[in-house]
């Protein structure tokens, strides 16, 4: 059963009506719609997003207040909850057409544009700071993922970037010192990724076949065990939180990472 929360700072009837009209196009989908009216404080927004997170649901909202929409974007990002703004884009288009801001509230365009351009910027940041590149800029990252090869550093970075986070990732390779900038980051910024060595060996053998097999000890189980053990020792020495990614979907690993960030 999928949960969708219709959230509003009014009665919530508009959000629920629009949502149900859209859901009519998805015949057979098991969806439970829950209305959350009179959401008028940031604390109420926070509680609603947390409720949606607990039920793995998403939020559709018609919040008019700039501050509440800001809070919804922020909390949705932290809790890894998808939030769909029905009112903001419509207000923006009407404002452009009428050449006036709604309810004389300045900053609507700024907020919508900042949200859009932030996502563009975070995606570009993830691409430019993948696999240890531009290590001198690690201090700009909100999250830095570290781990041996094939621990899903890049897919997780892209996923989190799409959710609005500035993410970099750095490979951990025995015999090669990580960039010194990594050790200057504040606590909680760096998160280690680990994986079961047997599963990692299987993943690497697939990649080895694609590369023609000339990869040395890359897919040797004994070598892989040493790599994983070396990375874990480094994580524990630096007191970096560790997230296991063995056979987990990207969304689940990302949720664990964001849980650490929230703390």
Say how far apart CA 62 and CA 53 lie, in whole Å: 19
In this structure, of 52-56, 103-107, 161-165, 166-170, the range with the lowest mean pLDDT score is 103-107
Hey, do 2-106 and 123-262 end up sharing a CATH topology, with the first three levels equal? yes
- Is the Cβ–Cβ distance between 161 and 123 less than 8 Å? yes
Span 193-217, pLDDT tens digits: 999 999 999 999 988 888 776 567 8
- Is the Cβ–Cβ distance between 113 and 107 less than 8 Å? no
Closest listed residue to residue 3, CA positions, set 23, 31, 36: 31
Confidence of residue 103 (pLDDT cuts 50, 70, 90): low
Mean pLDDT of 29-38: 92
- Is the Cβ–Cβ distance between 98 and 71 less than 8 Å? no
Rg of the chain over CA atoms, in angstroms? 22
Specify the fold of 2-106. Rossmann fold (3.40.50)
Higher-confidence residue: 139 or 97? 139
In this structure, of 9-13, 45-49, 238-242, the range with the lowest mean pLDDT score is 9-13
Whole-number mean pLDDT of the chain? 89
Domain boundaries, the chain: 2-106, 123-262
Span 119-146, pLDDT tens digits: 889 999 999 999 999 999 999 999 999 9
Specify the fold of 123-262. Rossmann fold (3.40.50)
State pTM to two decimals: 0.72
């Amino acid at each position: 059963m999928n949960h969708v929360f219709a959230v509003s700072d009014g009665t919530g009837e508009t959000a629920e009506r629009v949502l149900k009209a859209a859901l009519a196009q998805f015949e057979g989908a098991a969806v439970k719609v829950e209305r959350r009216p009179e959401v008028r404080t940031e604390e109420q927004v926070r509680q609603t997003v947390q409720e949606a997170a607990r039920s793995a649901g998403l939020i559709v909202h018609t919040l008019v207040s700039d501050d509440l929409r800001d809070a919804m974007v922020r909390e949705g990002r932290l809790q890894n909850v998808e939030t769909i703004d029905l009112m903001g884009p419509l207000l923006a288009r009407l404002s452009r057409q009428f050449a006036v801001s709604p309810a004389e509230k300045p900053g609507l365009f700024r907020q919508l544009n900042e949200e859009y351009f932030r996502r563009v910027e975070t995606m570009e940041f993830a691409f430019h700071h993948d696999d240890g590149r531009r290590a001198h800029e690690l201090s700009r990252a909100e999250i830095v993922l570290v781990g041996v090869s094939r621990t899903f550093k890049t897919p997780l970075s892209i996923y989190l970037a799409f959710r609005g986070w500035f993410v970099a990732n750095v490979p951990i390779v025995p015999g090669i010192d990580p960039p010194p900038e990594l050790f200057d980051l504040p606590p909680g910024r760096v998160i280690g990724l680990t994986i079961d060595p047997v599963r990692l060996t299987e993943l690497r053998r697939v990649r080895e076949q694609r590369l023609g097999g000339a990869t040395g000890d890359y897919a040797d189980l004994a070598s892989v065990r040493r790599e994983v053990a070396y990375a874990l020792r480094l994580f524990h020495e630096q007191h970096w939180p560790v997230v296991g990614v063995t056979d987990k979907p990207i969304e689940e690993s990302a949720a664990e990472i964001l849980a650490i960030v929230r703390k």
